[in-house]
Amino acid sequence: MGAIDLEDLLGRMIQAAADSLGDDWPRVRDTAEIELRGLAEQAMDIEVQAAAGEIDQETAELYRELVKNRRETLEALFTGLGKLAAERAINAAIGVLRAAVNTAVGWSVL
């Protein structure tokens, strides 16, 4: 298990989304960064709860729903860029988030 560094995680998520969107990134950057920060902060909450032994499969499912809701917000934001571009950006950022959380807690939460 490893600790999550919020700013490092957020930076990697933003970079993954920006790289996948290329020249379209500036159009959505401000709002996307807010939503991605929310996801990164949820990752920190998961890590803290896991370290305290307060997370189980039921709680993990609630976190999956929270991530799904933020994903839907990002999809709405990116819709104007085209569905495939939006999916690439979201999948890239969520992939970084999933790896960080699951590594930090030592099992597949997300």
pLDDT value of position 108: 84
d(CA 31, CA 14): 11
d(CA 19, CA 101): 21
For residue 40, give every residue at least 6 positions away whose Cβ sits within 8 Å of its Cβ, in sequence order, or none: 6, 9, 10, 13, 97
Is residue 63 within 8 Å of 46, Cβ to Cβ?
yes
Closest CA to 13 of 5, 1, 3: 5
pLDDT value of position 2: 66
Taking only the tens of pLDDT, the chain with its 110 residues reads 568 899 999 999 999 999 988 998 898 899 889 989 998 998 888 888 888 888 887 888 888 888 888 888 888 877 777 777 778 888 888 899 899 988 888 888 87
pLDDT value of position 16: 93
